[in-house]
Amino acid sequence: MTDLSWQTAAQKLIQLALLEDLADQGDVTTTALIPEGQTAQVQIVARQPGVLAGLPVGEMVFQKVDPSVRFQSLADDGTRLSAGQVVAELSGCLRSLLIGERTCLNFLTHLSGVATLTRRFVDAIAGTRAGIYDTRKTLPGWRVLEKQAVVAGGGKNHRMGLFDMVLIKDNHLAGWQTGTGQSLAEAVRAARQKSPAGLRIEIEVDTLEQLKDALQGLPEIVLLDNMSLEELRQAVAWRDQHAPQVELEASGGVSLATVADIARTGVERISVGALTHSPPALDLAFDWKLNQR
């Protein structure tokens, strides 16, 4: 989806996170209180049910802090967790474990929160043909990891950025139509002509009349923004009759309370910004077992 791999993204974020924590002074509390040779064992434990994501990133934290720390994963990303389940065991220098603890947990709790919320939406529409898609409403710098967490939760990725898909939104149309006065179908054709070959084209509409116009340009996807359930049903019926190859995506006002009804209208895609912009963190913690030496 992008040249930026999750490993590269994780390395950059880990470096920044450790710099925030350690600055030039290091962990002054640990240095003052913990003998240099002391070791410990720790388990990473889920305090509540959820879906795991980001465990390989947690391991990378300790590879950066101290490569001698032993990190044993006991679950895979995408695993449904029960309260009390151990997801990893670590052992090694106690100073290193304390230094990496919060950074590791910050990645795990946030990314597992994304995966857990995604799974709740996916489960809510089970039995329909719709898929749950993320958006670009991500934390700056975290996009690759958050989108990976969405997949771990059973969701699907929309475009990664502005470079890998054409998405014609209302503000694009406002500027384009001011200069041309042409239809939405013409906007789709113009985008297809001027964009790199092979990119999918999606266009946003607010009304059924706009949908009818846009479908004449045969985009791959039409985004149905903030439409009522009845409007969504009518949009699906019109699409089925006139352009069955075009996918329909519902967006706006999507919540766990509404998503099942939206899915039952027959749309193929439902995009949910909340997956990445406001997921509750999943509670994971370190359970310590010290070895005195």
Instruction: Please list the active-site residues.
Output: 102, 137, 169, 204, 225
Asked if residues 113 and 14 have their Cβ atoms less than 8 Å apart, the reply is no
Task: Give the CA distances from residue 1 to residues 5, 12, 54, 120, 130, in Å, rounded to whole numbers and listed in that order.
Answer: 9, 19, 18, 25, 21
Find all residues with CB under 8 Å of 268, minimum gap 6, and list them: 129, 130, 131, 247, 248, 249
Tokens of 112: 């597992």
**CB burial class (10 A; 0-12, 13-18, 19+) of residue 147?**
buried
Tokens of 48: 């509540």
- Distance, CA of 120 to CA of 136 (rounded, Å): 20
Asked if residues 105 and 286 have their Cβ atoms less than 8 Å apart, the reply is yes
